[in-house]
Structure 1
Amino acid sequence: MTALTDLRAQLNIIDDNADDELLTRKIAAAEASVAADIGAETPVIYGDAPADLQEAILMKAAHLFENREAVLVGVGAQELPLGYADLIAPHRKWVF
């Protein structure tokens, strides 16, 4: 499976290619974000990443797709336990 196919499944987008260009941009942004969050010295590419980082990339890309503005008004939000941070934690480089 490709990142685009997996992201479309994550978002429950079936038989509609209209957003594929936007989804591809969200995947690229998510890959860059995950790489920065773990302190990777090289790019994190979905197809080459371990399963937990692939899931983190999908979570980040889906979030970016669903929340396209910098601010949400009138919506309560809470980080889910065992979510994104837990997926990237084993790969994070700690630098002081």
Structure 2
Amino acid sequence: MSILTLDDFKAHANIITTDEDAMIQGKIDAAEAWVGSFIGQSLSSYPTQPPDAPIMEAVKQLAAHLYNNRESVFVGTSIADNCPGLSGLLAPYRQWNF
């Protein structure tokens, strides 16, 4: 189950049609999985629901990036390089495991 609803994302991205809802949901799911992996904790099991505002903003920004750049491939870079705000939003929540 997504922590970011389709309607909330569509409001964030100013999308008013329903034509691409299934594809958009896939972008939300991918963004949530990436953010969870980056911070080291599944968002569905995060201690507060919904997660803190910076985490939610990171999911929105990443889902919007994935939606707007569906075909882009940048060899040798990470998604955080292409969405520079992500690291700043998520750094306080990242769990380092060695």
Q: TM-score range by the shorter chain?
A: 0.7 to 0.9
In 1, Cα distance between equivalents of 2:94 and 2:8: 24
Distance 1:78-1:93 versus aligned 2 partners, 3 A rule: closer
Q: Kindly, what percent of the aligned residue pairs are identical?
A: 40
Distance 1:94-1:62 versus aligned 2 partners, 3 A rule: same
CA contact (8 A) 2:65 2:83 kept: no
**Structure 2: runs of 5+ lacking an equivalent:** 75-80
**Structure 1: runs of 5+ lacking an equivalent:** none
Counterpart residue identity of residue 44, structure 1? L
CA contact (8 A) 2:40 2:95 kept: yes
Report the RMSD for the aligned CA atoms in angstroms. 2.3
Aligned length: 86
TM-score (norm 1): 0.76
After TM superposition, which residue ranges in structure 1, 4 or more long, deviate above 3 angstroms? 77-80
The equivalent residue for 2:77 is none
The equivalent residue for 1:33 is 34
In 2, Cα distance between equivalents of 1:78 and 1:87: 14
TM-score (norm 2): 0.74
1:35 is displaced (CA, Å) by: 0.4
